[in-house]
Amino acid sequence: MEAFPVTTTHVPGSRRAESPSPATAWPLIADLAAPGALSAMSDAQLAGLAAEIRGFLVEKVCATGGHLGVNLGVVELTIALHRVFDSPRDVLLFDTGHQTYVHKLLTGRAAGFETLRQAGGLSGYPSPAESPHDWIESSHASTALSYADGMAKAFALRGEHGRRVVAVIGDGAMTGGMALEGLNNLSGADRPVIVVLNDNGRSYDPTIGGLARHFEALRGRPAWRPDTTADPADDSVFEQLGLAYLGPVDGHDRIAVEAALRRASSLARPVVVHCVTVKGRGYQPAEDDEADRMHSIGVLDPVTGRQKAPGGTSWTAVFGAELARIGAERPEVAAVTAAMLQPTGLKAFAAAFPDRVFDVGIAEQHAVCSAAGLAAAGLHPVVCLYATFLNRAFDQVLMDVALRGLPVTLVLDRAGITGPDGASHHGMWDTPILAAVPGVRIAAPRDPARLCELLREAVAADGPTVVRLPKASVGPDIEAVTRMDGVDILHRSSRMGLDVLFVTAGALAESSLEAARRLEADGVGVTVADPRWIVPANPFLIGLAARHRLVVTVEDGSATGGMGSLVQAACAEAGVPTPVRILGLPRAFVAHGERADLLAAAGLDGAGIAEAARRPVNGMTLRSTNPPTVVRGRGALWLPRLSVLRRR
């Protein structure tokens, strides 16, 4: 593997700033052509490699952004795995996959870290398309044990008895229901699957619940020794389920970890190796970060660990501040999070009302069903999740919340294109999934003022509601020309006909307004409407569509089954002949890249939206032919022949 240029070399947290030549930048990493090269290294070289990997990760991840703290915590553990097992013949699975940066380095992908999580570059998660050493794309937690169960069964059926399956899972991911289901099935068979419990006491937040207390008790036992002749714990939950248990092992003592892994392999049965690690190990800014040990970072100064350029106010921060204000006014409002209190903006609410915040661990299904219980007992829970993780709780939304019409509000952070985390983390499926649920209303605020307004409407509702937030900095407030039947009219062309109606969702309002300006320069009259509540379709939009020659819906979710589909279906049912063109994300898995670039590639920037409106409809090109619309007075909106419209 070729060496590559760097700007500094340092052990994590140091203040050295030499500029070595490319050939000497990271010599031990550069010598790793394959994991097998580790077997020829001495103990001293392996210790040097671990230090070099930490320095490499700090420099590279601080330059691109990514998951830093969790990877600093598994350096020695991952080296030990690759020294004991023969990847890819032996299967190494990582749950959650953001802890695979060290694995990527040891499997020949160091040069790719210059492009980590950038368009066309190295994925931030395991990727079978990248390397045969990556078996799964494990970017949602708690799945690896089920994968391991299935793979071990397949190898047994195929007669491949020499292949070993190893699943590395964090204590946070172990709180997920699927992990417990997988563990239950592994323990009921004699297939030799090795479960490595990477116990650092955290996911984003400290691990909670009975399992966390149990792991803490196990950590207090005497350390496992290679000369142990019997499993030291006879009352661990793993032993009670029927698995062998080896631990606790210092996860930063490579020699001890290797010994435990070799012993586990020799047992030829399902076994748990309990490794205790420190998240952010070896990098002082990460170890000092009480929030999440620098779990996931943006671009930072690697020496200080501080953000290089101040970022704007996020949608998450606006939500968090407003929910805290609502909490002070409404004692029935409670909050539920799935191990992501701070990332979903609940820090202020939790500080003010600690007894009204419930962290349920990495368990989205339980979070929603527990919220249904809160609502049934008289509270109004606000369940805060990343949009991509709501997918797991569809049954609970459908059967436990909506079926009973319970007042539960789902706040879905990272809705739409999220950017560098890629296909598994884009929040693009929530709208079409939830649009199929009877009684659910979905709000998409376009600006900070509407976020606060819609959040208050949601928690005042007597049925299920959803508020979607993008992963971005908020822009300025976009005031409406007028509001009609709950729909905000953001723009209407002066002295032009009623040619194009843009129905825009959420933060794409600004792009839709830019598209309107582009079309007006061509003499095309444009109206831009923000329905605020995008599901179900507002009947007012149907009458508005009837007075335009083309409707273009614009949303940052899947174009299949989302807001546009609802508007199109409602127009067809009402006999409105105006064609509806749906703009949204493609029915595909969208790769990682910058948010703005991915939106532009999907035609969801101003230029793309305008171009979509210009495309021929039924073989005819749109031209402005309507008589001029005369607008007089601030806030006035005259739409000829549209009797259902009225001025408010």
- Which positions are annotated as active-site residues? 279, 364, 392
**DSSP element (H, E) containing 645:** none
Place of tokens 């419209």: 645
Three-state DSSP class for residue 166: strand
Task: Encode burial over 479-495: b for 16+ CB neighbours within 10 A, e otherwise.
Answer: ebbbebeebbbbbbbee
For 235-262, give the DSSP string. Answer: SSHHHHHT-EEEEEEETT-HHHHHHHHH
The CA distance from 13 to 21, in Å, is: 21
Do the Cβ atoms of 371 and 358 come closer than 8 Å?
Answer: no
Q: What are phi and psi of 200, to 5 degrees?
A: -115, 10
By residue count, the chain amounts to 648
| Residue among 94, 83, 19 at smallest CA distance from 49 | 83
Residues 6+ apart with CB under 8 A from 612: 552, 581, 583, 603
Query: In this structure, what DSSP letter does residue 401 have?
Result: I
Pairing outcome for strands 441-443 and 533-535: antiparallel
| Residue among 186, 216, 182, 176 at smallest CA distance from 199 | 216
Structure token pair of residue 160 = 């491949």
Secondary structure, 3-state, 312-340:
CCEHHHHHHHHHHHHHHHCCCEEEEECCC
Could you tell me the CA-to-CA distances from 597 to 313, 514, 601, 603, 608 in Å, in that order?
21, 16, 6, 10, 12
The CA distance from 140 to 124, in Å, is: 12
